[in-house]
Amino acid sequence: MKRKGRKAFWHNIKFKYKLTIINENTLEEVVGIHVSKLNGLSVLLAASTVIFLIAASIIAFTPLRNYLPGYMNSELRTQVVTNALRADSLEEALARQNHYIMNIRDILSGEVKADTVKSIDSLANQRAEELMERTAEEDAFRKKYEERERYNLTAVNDAHSAIGLNFRRPTRGVMATNFNPEGKHFGVDLTASPNESIVAALDGTVILATYTADAGYVVQIQHTQNFVTVYKHCGSLMKTEGDKVKGGEVIALVGKSGNEKDTPHLHFEVWHKGNPVNPAKYVVF
């Protein structure tokens, strides 16, 4: 019975139908096509595959890929930081130019004596208080914009201490707990899938790779410019003490702290010169 049912199924799906186009006036057959259900499914599957490949190629080989969550690569992030620093320098140069033009105008009008100007720098620094002050609307707009964009250009913050460094996001996850030194929480918690890769934020040397009862597996990495990053609640370690690592290299996997009730997550800390700092100042989460 099963064999007969199977034969009937294949006979039905392979059975061909004739699609005919007839001239209405002469009743003459113009076009006749023999098709089956199997042919229709094959054409539909082939068309779907071609459309998928075209869409995947457009996303993979065009700038559209940067709009995918978490895809923003290190080169693009470095370019964003560089452009932000360049814009800040241009703003400072524009302010100095405005100072200079205003004081040249005062010299020409006789309000400032030419013999009191010793250099171009002294000329640019005179009467800075007469420049147009920010309005309340401008201050409100700047505050709103900086609040909205603080996670996009956080690497610019404290640029003197991290100049030349490009911090990488330690793992793919959602921020669950923020930096709160008053509450003895010296890092951020990133909820992630079990066994998700944990990567080094910067080039450096592993100075600690051990297991603790309250934080699970812990990794500490020493970086240049007196930075140290800490990775807690790891499920397993991929590096040992003394290993040299590159930024973006896998050093551990996400796990649990030993408490089965805890959600798998990574606790990530950044220390600078022995003091905890907010990782959001350096890492785009």
How do residues 164-209 score in pLDDT, each as one tens digit? 788 899 998 888 889 998 888 999 999 988 889 999 999 999 999 9
Do 179 and 275 reside in the same domain of the chain? yes
245 in a domain, yes or no? yes
167 in a domain, yes or no? no
Residue whose pair of structure tokens reads 């450096």 in the numeric block: 204
Which residues of the chain are under the pLDDT cut of 50? 118, 126, 128-131, 151-159
Predicted local confidence at residue 95, as pLDDT? 81
Do 189 and 267 reside in the same domain of the chain? yes
How do residues 132-155 score in pLDDT, each as one tens digit? 555 677 777 777 766 665 544 444
47 in a domain, yes or no? yes
166 in a domain, yes or no? no
CB 270 within 8 A of CB 251: no
Last residue of a domain, one of 112, 129, 156: 156
Dist. CA 175–CA 285, nearest whole Å: 8
Longest dimension (CA), the chain: 113
Do 108 and 55 reside in the same domain of the chain? no
Amino acid (one-letter) located at 187:
G
The secondary structure of 1-51 as a DSSP string is: -HHHHHHHHHHHHH-EEEEEEE-TTT--EEEEEEEEHHHHHHHHHHHHHHH
40 in a domain, yes or no? yes
Do 55 and 78 reside in the same domain of the chain? no
Amino acid (one-letter) located at 96:
R
Q: Which domain holds residue 186?
A: 174-281
186 in a domain, yes or no? yes
Predicted local confidence at residue 1, as pLDDT? 62
Predicted local confidence at residue 264, as pLDDT? 87
Do 144 and 193 reside in the same domain of the chain? no
Do 221 and 258 reside in the same domain of the chain? yes
Last residue of a domain, one of 105, 123, 156: 156
69 in a domain, yes or no? no
Q: Token pair for residue 143?
A: 């505050």
Predicted local confidence at residue 71, as pLDDT? 60
| pTM across the whole model | 0.45
Last residue of a domain, one of 88, 123, 156: 156
How many domains would you assign to the chain?
3
